[in-house]
Amino acid sequence: MFHRLCRRLLLAAMLATWATLLAGQTHAQTTLRIAAIVNRDVITVQDLFQRLNLVLLATGAENDQETRARLGPQVLRTYIDETLKLQEARRLGITVTAGEVRQALVGVAARNGMSVEELLALLRQRGIGIDTLERQIRAELAWARVVNRQIRPEVVVSEEQIDLALATRKEADAEEVLLSEILLPIYRPEQEAQVLEDARRIIEAVKSGADFGALARQVSVAASAADQGNLGWVALANLNEVVRPVIERLEIGVPSEPVRTANGIRIFLVRDRRSGGSGASEELVELAQLVIPLSTDATEEEVRRALREAEAVRPRLRDCARVAGVARELDAPASGPLGWMPLGELPTDFAAAVARLRVGEVTPPLRGPLGIHLLTLCSRGGAEGERQRIRLELEREQVQRLANRYLRDLRKSAYIEIRLR
C-alpha cells in the first residue's frame, strides 16, 4: 500500500512538473523557458514541447498529461544526447547539407506511404515545426558520419571469431525469436534508478498503445534504433545468460520488464517465434550500385532523361568490378560497391527487384532518394554469405558498444545543466 501511494504521489509530481509542456505555443514565456543547457547550447521548453509532439505522432501514443509525463524525461535525455552528437560533429568538421536532409525527408515520407508535401501537412496539422524533424534527421546523419570516421576503423573481426560463432550456432538450440529492443544508457551509477523509472514509463506507454518500434526510433541509443529496434531473427542459445531467461518466458507482443545489461537498461519485445528449421534466415546479398543523381524537386523531363541514361548504361554493369569505373566515368559519386547486406535492409521495392536477380544481373532503373538506382547482384548467400552475415553481426555489436562508450565520454566531459525538473 505504501509503495502504491508513493508511486501515485510521484506520478502526480511528474504531471505537475511536465505540465509546462502542455501549455503549447500560446504561452511564449513558458515555452521559451530553458529546459537544459548543454555546453553552450540551450534547449528550451518549446524544443521539448515540439519533440514530444513528434514522438506522440510517430508512436501513436495518447496525447494526454499522463503519457507526456511518462515520456517527457526520456525525450529530454535523448535531446541532450542529440545535442552532444551535433556538437561533436561540428568539432570534427563534419557537416550535413540541406539537400541531404531533404533527401532523408523523402525517405521518411516514403516509408510512411506519403509524399514530402503530405508529411509536412501532417506535421503542421499536429503543431510540429518542420525544423523539429529536420534537426533529428541532421543529428542522425551527422552521428553516423562521426561513428564511421572515429569508430569503424577500430573495429576488427577475426576469422577465429567468425569460426567460433559459427560453431556455437551449429550447437545451438533451434528456437529463434524475432526480437526488438530499446536501449537506455546509464552514464553514471547514480543515474541507474532514474533510467529504470524512465524504462518503466516507456513500458507503460507501450502497454497503453504506443508503438514499440516508433519509440525505439525516438529514444533508443542502440544501433538498431535506425531500424525501429529490430534485431531480426535471433537464436535463443546465442543470447547471453542475463537476457536469455527474460526472452524465453516473454509473450509475443508484450514488452519485457527493464533488463540491466552492460550497455544500459534494455526493454525487449518478441514479435514472433519459430524453430530453427522452420524458415530461412534473412538472405544476405553482395551488391554494387550506380546512382544517376536527381534533386528531390526534379522535373518530369529530368527524371525521364535520367531513366534513359540508366537504361543506356545498364548493360555495362553486369560485371560488379566495372561498376566503380563506370561511376567515375559518369561522375556519379554515390555509386560503387555496397558490400554484403541483409536483403531486408533495402527499401521494399529495391529488395523485391534484387530478389528476382541471378548473380551478374542488374535491376531495372529504380527511383530512390538519391536519384535513379541500378543495383548489380555480385553474390548471394552460400557459405561465404553466412560468414559475411556473422561478420556483419559481430561488427555491429562492436560498433554499438564503442559508439555508446564514445557518447558516454562526451556526456562525462560536457557541462549539462537540467533546469526542468
- Rounded Cα distance between 68 and 213, Å, is 18
Tell me what pLDDT residue 171 has.
55
223 in any annotated domain: yes
- Together in a domain, 306 and 257: no
**Co-location of 323 and 222 in the same domain:** no
258 shares a domain with 337: no
Per-residue pLDDT, 282: 63
- CB-CB contact of 121 with 133 (8 Å): no
Asked if residue 312 and residue 362 are part of one domain, the reply reads: yes
Put simply, whether the predicted model's pTM sits higher than 0.75 gets the answer no
Residue 230 sits in the same domain as residue 359: no
- Rg of the Cα trace of the chain? 23
SS3 158: coil
Same-domain pairing of 132 and 59: yes
Residue 167 lies in a domain: no
Domain that holds residue 146: 2-152
- 161 domain-assigned: no
**Does residue 169 lie in a domain region?**
no
With respect to residue 196, please indicate whether it lies within any of the assigned structural domains: yes
Any idea what DSSP says for residue 347? -
Residues 301 and 330 grouped into a single domain: yes
Number of domains in the chain: 3
312 and 231, same domain (yes or no): no
CATH number at residue 334: 3.10.50.40
What pLDDT, on the 0 to 100 scale, is given for residue 108?
81
Sorted by sequence, the CB contacts under 8 Å of residue 332 that are 6+ apart come out as: 290, 291, 292, 293
Does 301 map to a domain?
Answer: yes
Residue 288 and residue 275 share a domain: no
Are residues 9 and 142 both part of a single domain?
yes
Those residues whose C-beta lies under 8 Å from the C-beta of residue 131, and which sit 6 or more positions away, are none
Full pLDDT tens readout for the chain, 421 residues: 433 434 443 444 444 455 445 444 444 555 578 889 999 999 999 999 899 999 888 888 888 888 888 788 888 989 999 999 999 999 999 999 888 888 788 778 877 778 888 888 999 988 899 999 999 999 999 999 999 899 988 888 888 887 877 776 665 546 788 899 999 888 778 888 888 988 998 998 898 888 999 899 888 888 788 778 888 778 787 788 888 899 999 999 999 999 998 878 999 999 998 875 444 456 778 899 999 888 767 788 988 999 999 999 999 998 888 888 888 888 887 788 888 788 877 888 888 899 889 888 999 999 887 789 999 998 887 656 677 777 777 888 888 888 888 998 999 899 999 887 6
Provide DSSP, 19-48: GGGGSGGG-HHHHTSEEEEETTEEEEHHHH
* 59 shares a domain with 116: yes
Residue 396 inside a domain? The answer is no
Confirm whether 399 is domain-assigned.
no
131 and 181 housed in the same domain: no
